[in-house]
Structure 1
Amino acid sequence: MPLPPLPNALWLALLASVIGLVPVLQGCAPAAVVGTAYGASVIHERRPASTVLDDEVIELQAKQRFFQHREIRRASRISITSYNYRVLLTGQADNAEVRKRFADIVSRLPKVEQVYNEVRIGPAISLAQRSRDALITSRAKIAIGGGRGIKDFDATRVKVVTEDGVVYLMGLVTREEAETTTELVRRLPGVVRVVKMFEFI
């Protein structure tokens, strides 16, 4: 059922409520799923407030499905990122069946338009590599918003996800913004590859 039309201010209040629940949900769950950063600035968002809320709900629902399927949880480490109804899955799985099965489950969630299944077959990456990935993500956000690229471009318009040195970039951007952002991130230390998953405006 489509979300009812509400003022942006009310949608943002609802979003804040959802965000407030996330730490509670995460505290009850294993650290197998690495979620995206919640509570990002929505001031310069190009998505409608209702879409931002929908994306947060999609991520929560996908995580719930992950924890509900013990056989998938035990055989994989999967991160879930939703942007504009497109879901990116990253991480590792023990085999192709687990990889495909979880992607199929996510694809059937309400409002999901597309699933990008970037989960790799193999053992989970080390804690050290996860720390390096987190550092790359932080550096990427700083580089994008540091004035070295497009003047007055807000870094919150680009969703950055790093997995084993591979950086995935999502967002609603112009072609110029996409190219400039990609080049900035590509030059960062530790980046193996940059995957552009932008939608153009």
Structure 2
Amino acid sequence: MQKTKLTLAAAAFIATLPFLQGCVPAVIVGGVAAGAVSIHDRRSTGVQTDDESTEWKASLSVPKQYKEYTHANFTSFNRRVLITGETSNDEAKAAIEAEVRKIEGVRDVYNELGIGPMSSLGSRSTDAYISSKVKARLVDSNQLSANHIKVFTERAIVYLMGIVTEREAKVAVAVARTTAGVVKVVNAMEVLSDEDVRRIDERTFGSRSTPPQSAPVENR
């Protein structure tokens, strides 16, 4: 019961972030989260820093003539950029993607911008709440580390990014698609072999990623 209360409280707090961002400096909100998660991230600290820099550069790259009619979010994970939100027309959508592709270090771009009016603050708050529920359910599943999955929601569509095994990807998709309020799941995760992910974990986390061998038992 206590665990449920804590999970719901965390979800409620995260849902308020879209309204707090205008009052709280982004460096405080982002810095605290990054400090907690980076220890358990399969990306190197250098790549994490590059991803944060890419998101900032991308947010500044929207062509001036489209800014008034565009609400765009840029999520970078392992140098792959996801663009979500809304813009006025296909020309604007293509122009925004072209600018993001110019950013140094970007490996790939997933342009998921919708064509239409900008979403309301209420809609964005709902999206943030959906993301928080998906993250909480990933934790509750006890089948993978939720820190290895980046969850972002736009117009009730959940986008998943991360460096995962095939099993972890299936678990994450199953959790997301069965979460209340989700209308669609877009899988943008990088799926590697178990061996490759194990190698990354051992390099990044050291012995912490390898559970100790059980001691033998002799019956008398």
Same fold (TM over 0.5): yes
Which of 96, 99, 117 is the matching residue for 1:123?
A: 117
1:39-78 superposed matches below 5 A: 39=34, 41-66=37-62, 69-78=63-72
Runs of 4+ in 1 over 6 A off after TM superposition: none
Contact 1:75 1:98 in 2 (8 A): no
Instruction: Report the structure number with the largest CA radius of gyration.
Output: 2
Deviation at 1:64, TM superposition (A): 2.0
Q: RMSD across aligned C-alpha pairs, in angstroms?
A: 2.1
Residues 178/149 of structure 1: CA separation in 2 closer, same or farther (3 Å cut): farther
SS in 1 for 2:76: strand
- Residue 197 of structure 1 corresponds to 188
CA distance in 1, matches of 2:97, 2:74: 10
Which of 75, 81, 101 is the matching residue for 1:81?
A: 75
SS in 2 for 1:129: helix
- Residue 178 of structure 2 corresponds to 187
Deviation at 1:195, TM superposition (A): 0.7
Q: Could you give the per-residue CA deviations for residues 108-151 of structure 1, whole angstroms, max 9, x where no partner exists?
A: 100001110000100112222111101100001111112x241x
Q: Could you give the per-residue CA deviations for residues 34-81 of structure 1, whole angstroms, max 9, x where no partner exists?
A: x9x952511111111111111011111111223xx3212112100000
Report which of the two has the higher share of helix: 2
SS in 2 for 1:115: strand
Taking structure 2 as the reference length, the TM-score comes to 0.71
Q: Which shows bigger deviation, 120-129 or 130-139?
A: 120-129
CA distance in 2, matches of 1:61, 1:43: 24
Q: What's the % identity of the aligned pairs?
A: 38
Taking structure 1 as the reference length, the TM-score comes to 0.77
CA distance in 1, matches of 2:191, 2:147: 16
- Residue 176 of structure 1 corresponds to 167
Structure 2: gaps spanning 5 or more residues: 1-23, 193-220
- Residue 99 of structure 2 corresponds to 105
Q: Could you give the per-residue CA deviations for residues 138-179 of structure 1, whole angstroms, max 9, x where no partner exists?
A: 001111112x241xx221110001000100000000000000
CA distance in 2, matches of 1:127, 1:58: 25
- Residue 157 of structure 1 corresponds to 148
CA distance in 2, matches of 1:171, 1:124: 27
CA distance in 2, matches of 1:71, 1:52: 31
- Residue 10 of structure 1 corresponds to none
CA distance in 1, matches of 2:189, 2:165: 9
Residues 82/38 of structure 1: CA separation in 2 closer, same or farther (3 Å cut): farther
2:25 is the counterpart of 1:23: yes
Which of 123, 127, 133 is the matching residue for 1:133?
A: 127
The amino acid across from 1:198 in the alignment is M
CA distance in 1, matches of 2:111, 2:137: 27
